[in-house]
Chains A and B, each alone.
Chain A
Amino acid sequence: MKHIRTIIDKEWAEVFKNRMVLFATIFIPLIFIVLPLVMLYITNQGMDDFTSAATADVPAGFLPACSDGMSGGDCMQIYVMNQFLLLFMMIPVIIPVTIASYSIVGEKATHSLEPLLATPITTIELLAGKSLAAALPAILVGWASFGLFLAALPLIGVSQAVIGYIAGPT
């Protein structure tokens, strides 16, 4: 366990001093938060003319997702958000891939793998340390950015129905 902790500690200390990685873990999720918020804000402005779900320009197959009492605008937003929520799913993919690839390329380029492998660490501990070091921040950032997104929704005037849909299980 101590070996795994040491590797995680080392990975974070080293990897997050890299600008590319920092960019990937902070800036990209930020874009993923801001983009749908802007989208929702804009749709909120000009959607009042849709009165019922049927009038919204949403693919027929999607209509059952909108409950009966929903306005057409809400239904439209739900449809759009469904697409954007996919982006949040990508955060846990993009971040570990960036961290892991940097961490391996980095070890190779600086020849630091050889002395590392000469220590009594087992291959399993090394791999576990590296994977955890890459996965933990991804999960954390994924949840944090989704939480931020949810918190910002009421601020731009999205209706309770839509928020309920986004926060609910999909």
Chain B
Amino acid sequence: MIEIKNLTKIFKIKKSEDIHAVVDLSLSVAEGEVFGFLGPNGAGKTTTVRMLTSLIAPTEGTAWINGFKLGENDQEIRRSVGILTESPGMYERLSAFKNLSIYANLYDVNDVDGQVQKYLQMLGLWSRRDDAVGGFSKGMRQKLAIARTLLHEPHILFLDEPTSGLDPEAASLVRSFIEELSVQGRTIFMCTHNLNEADHLCNRIGIFNTSLIEVDTPANLRQKIYGRKVVFHLRAVDPKWIGVVEKIPGVIEVKNVEEKLVVSLEDPESINPVIIRDLVNAGADILFVGELRHSLEEIYLQTIRESETEKVKS
């Protein structure tokens, strides 16, 4: 469990203005949840993760990780979390096996060789275990870094852009790996720029730019920002049918887009059958009916834009 309260980080830089990287962030992530932390470059995501893993001290506010308070039980926090840092940071001259066994020892893992072998195999690097990491591709390093994050079987994982720079296949492998970790009941806090990935993996999403703008499930974010829309594909659209649909209670707006009626409405589950009956009665040929899903990308862009225009106003 992660409980964040009024977390703030201000970097003081000589001879220039202070950088407010994170301002008054309060948030809680439940046990077993996959939380997606989205935001533009420089939003303060990595800074947040660094504070939550007690790598840097907050300027103000605090957080409880697994019940341990930041700044008071840092040693316990480090023991119980795993962090995938933005850059893998491997010892280039050492072998993959050696890199992991160093960390397994530092995390006081009981069966060092066993754990190292388990995760090297799981991530498909076992056959390259004796090769120096300096010769590894970016994706292999990233996989090795993920293995390193898991050696001590942490309950809470902080993943800073786990799939950045990976080819589609490697990225998909990493994603299904994250899914599996979540099934095992681990709490995952991940920063990502890949919105489809966030949509697919995360139970809840926080859109963040120095401070938290929105936080909710992907489905609720869709509804909150766009309402719900249903598309009726017709053989041909007679303009007078728009009036027919608009009269139905609960319908907010009807648009005719390329022989499709796009209907904004509150509760499609109860109103859709009424719309279909009335359209058929009016003589329309309905080919398909489907819900219009906005991609998380549209939602994200919309949210960020709104927050920026608000900033300009204030």
Give the interface of A toward B (CB within 8 A): 2-3, 6, 9-10, 13-14, 17-18, 110-122
Give the interface of B toward A (CB within 8 A): 50, 53, 55, 75, 78-79, 81, 83, 85-94, 98, 102-103, 105-108, 145, 148
Q: How far is the CA of A73 from the CA of B292 in the complex (A)?
A: 101
Q: How far is the CA of A60 from the CA of B78 in the complex (A)?
A: 65
Task: Kindly list chain A residues whose C-beta atoms are within 8 Å of the C-beta of B81.
Answer: 118
User: Chain B: which residue is nearest A112 at the CB level?
Assistant: B89
Q: How far is the CA of A3 from the CA of B53 in the complex (A)?
A: 19
Residue from B86, B102, B148 within 8 A of A10 (CB atoms): B102
Some 19 contacts from A to B, beta carbons below 8 A apart, are A2-B105, A6-B105, A6-B106, A17-B93, A17-B94, A110-B91, A111-B85, A112-B91, A114-B50, A114-B85, A115-B103, A116-B89, A116-B106, A118-B55, A118-B83, A119-B107, A120-B75, A120-B79, A121-B106
Task: Kindly list chain A residues whose C-beta atoms are within 8 Å of the C-beta of B87.
Answer: 111
Minimum CB–CB distance for B65 against chain A, Å: 12
A120 in contact with B106 given A13-B98, A115-B85 (CB within 8 Å): yes
Interface of chain A, main secondary structure: helix
User: Chain A: which residue is nearest B107 at the CB level?
Assistant: A119
Minimum CB–CB distance for B15 against chain A, Å: 23
Q: How far is the CA of A114 from the CA of B93 in the complex (A)?
A: 18
B94 touches A114 (CB 8 A): no
Q: How far is the CA of A112 from the CA of B86 in the complex (A)?
A: 11
B91 touches A114 (CB 8 A): no
Minimum CB–CB distance for A162 against chain B, Å: 44
A122 touches B148 (CB 8 A): no
Q: Which of B88, B103, B105, B107 has the most CB of A within 10 A?
A: B105
Minimum CB–CB distance for B148 against chain A, Å: 7
User: Chain B: which residue is nearest A9 at the CB level?
Assistant: B102
Task: Kindly list chain A residues whose C-beta atoms are within 8 Å of the C-beta of B75.
Answer: 120, 122
A119 touches B89 (CB 8 A): no
Task: Kindly list chain B residues whose C-beta atoms are within 8 Å of the C-beta of A117.
Answer: 55
A120 touches B94 (CB 8 A): no
Q: How far is the CA of A28 from the CA of B75 in the complex (A)?
A: 42
